[in-house]
Amino acid sequence: MPENLWVLREQKRISVAALANRAGLPIGVILEYESGQRSIEPRHLDRLARALYVEEAQIRLQSEPRPGAAPLERQSSRNASQLTAGRSAFIAPKTKERPLRFRSEPLPPGPARPSQIAALDNLLQRLERSRITLESELGKPVTELNRAELAQLLRKLQAQVQSSRSPARHRAYLPESVDEFETSYLTAAQEAGATLYFTLFDGSTAEGQIVGFGPFSITVRQTDGSELTLNKLALVSYRTAAQPAAGQARQTPGHESEPPR
């Protein structure tokens, strides 16, 4: 339910002067809003909500005067002392009067948006964590975080989701793709200078040491020193052991056989 402006200010334990400074409004305007002499203007509502760390809907547009407080008098050229007397009911007397200076400081971040809370719950679900556990780590409910704090937390959890994703697949979805398993296998064979034996779909065979490879082909150096490039789609299998005997089961195109154990 919307609450009186002076009630929210006292709940936050800040003075009228501090609220005026945060919101960038004159003290006289704050006093008129709190006394109920005037309704809060829409252009001031957002400033007051951000200064108090509340939603705009939580502020009553027409505040009810504090019980037992004297009505605030408006300042006039005929009796300016009435405004000073009205302000004394709200502001403690100062030992030394100083002119008020309103600095153009940036307003504090507003409260967390509902969309940020929804995004947080989604990330926690993906990380298989509960909000209760997170709040125990933070030391306070996530609903008490402001927009900037929650945005920083969302970035941190998003990074955890990225790092927890499963590693690269061990087998390629398509024959022409190079996955991590194949890359490691061919790289190790190339560095070791091992001779690979290839079987093609047309029944022919080839052998040689790997010179290079890519997503679609493998280039080898044959025993006579010449280089031969083999299209992966034409391969039945390749291996580092001796050629497979006739009648041995062929491998799926593009998938390498593991060395014998």
Domain shared by 248 and 227, yes or no: yes
Does 96 fall in a domain? no
Residue 108 resides in a domain: no
Predicted confidence (pLDDT) at residue 73 exceeds the cutoff of 50: no
88 neighbors 16 (Cβ within 8 angstroms): no
Domain membership of residue 93 (yes or no) is no
Check whether residue 176 and residue 252 sit in a common domain: yes
- Co-location of 82 and 136 in the same domain: no
Classify residue 98: in a domain, yes or no.
Answer: no
Query: What is the C-alpha to C-alpha distance for residues 205 and 9, in angstroms, rounded to an integer?
Result: 85
Nearest to 25 by CA among 42, 7, 47, 8: 47
CA-based R_g, the chain, Å: 37
Same domain? 256 vs 227: yes
Q: Provide the domain limits for residue 79.
A: 5-87
d(CA 183, CA 186): 5
Same domain, 143 and 178: no
Same domain? For 183 and 196 the reply is yes
Question: Does 213 lie in the same domain as 153?
Answer: no
Measured between alpha carbons, how far is 221 from 68 in angstroms, rounded to an integer?
Answer: 99
Any domain includes 101: no
**Residue (of 53, 58, 62, 3) closest to 23 by Cα position:** 53
- Which residue has better confidence, 256 or 186? 186
Encode pLDDT of 87-129 as tens digits. 444 455 555 556 556 555 667 778 888 888 888 888 888 888 8
Classify residue 105: in a domain, yes or no: no
In a domain, 99, yes or no: no
Q: Are residues 143 and 180 in the same domain?
A: no
Tell me the pLDDT tens digit for each residue of 220-257: 999 899 999 999 888 888 888 654 444 444 444 444 44
- What CATH number corresponds to the domain at position 77? 1.10.260.40
The domain that holds 239 is classified in CATH as: 2.30.30.100
Residue 167 structure tokens: 């590693």
- Return d(Cα 245, Cα 71) in angstroms, integer: 105
Token pair of 92 as six digits: 């403690």
Domain count, the chain: 3
Q: Are residues 159 and 178 in the same domain?
A: no
pLDDT tens profile 204-213: 999 999 998 8
